[in-house]
Structure formats: C-alpha cells, structure tokens
Structure 1
C-alpha cells in the first residue's frame, strides 16, 4: 500500500497548497489509483493461475 499512500498524500498536500486545482488533479488521482489497483489485481490473478495449474 505504499504507492497508494504516496499518491493520496501528495494529492492532499497539493490541494492544501492550491485548492482551485482540486478538480483537475482529482481525475488524475483516480486514474493513478485505478492503475495501481489494476497491477495488484493482475498479480493476484497470475499468482492464482500459477498456484492452481
């Protein structure tokens, strides 16, 4: 979970410095969250395939 905490921590820090840019950054944060979770999900699927074949 190190990547997600860094992602959201940086987002909160940036919004604290420039609240007007929140909407623009929020889309990028959600995209980064989705990509980070997708990598973990793919790794889980591959591990289960290896385990059960």
Structure 2
C-alpha cells in the first residue's frame, strides 16, 4: 500500500513539469506577440526562434508526462 502512495506522489510531482511548460509556452508567445506589435517588420525574422522556444518548452512538459506515466504504469 505504501508503495502505491509513493508512486502516486512521485507521478504528481513529475506533473509539475506540465505546469512549467504551460507557463513557458505562454511567456514565449506573449513576448513574441508584444514584440511583433512593436516592430512588425522584424516579426518574420524571429518566427523560427519562436518555434524553437515552443518546441523546447513543450519537450520539457512531455518528458515530465512520460516520467509520470512510467512511474504509474511501469514501476
């Protein structure tokens, strides 16, 4: 029984990465939109950086989700 409780606690803590990814993605897109409104001519040049930042932030969240699922169903 205690092992199940520890497994659920560990999976819950691993899901904190999902909240961080959501905050990071919001920050990335919010800053891009703010910068694009200030200087619309520079926005297309920064779009690849936007996608790279999105991919890295989303990958962090997905790794956290994989760890949580592994804790729940593999261990």
Task: Using structure 2 for the length normalisation, give the TM-score.
Answer: 0.65
Structure 1 unaligned regions, length at least 5: none
Higher relative contact order (CA 8 A, sep 6+): 2
Superposition misfits of 4+ residues, deviation over 6 angstroms:
none
Q: Alignment partner for residue 14 of structure 1, among 30, 35, 41? A: 35
**CA displacement at 1:21 relative to structure 2:** 0.8
Structure 2 unaligned regions, length at least 5: 1-21
**CA displacement at 1:2 relative to structure 2:** 1.5
Task: Using structure 1 for the length normalisation, give the TM-score.
Answer: 0.88
The alignment status of 1:30 with 2:70, answered yes or no, reads no
Aligned length: 53
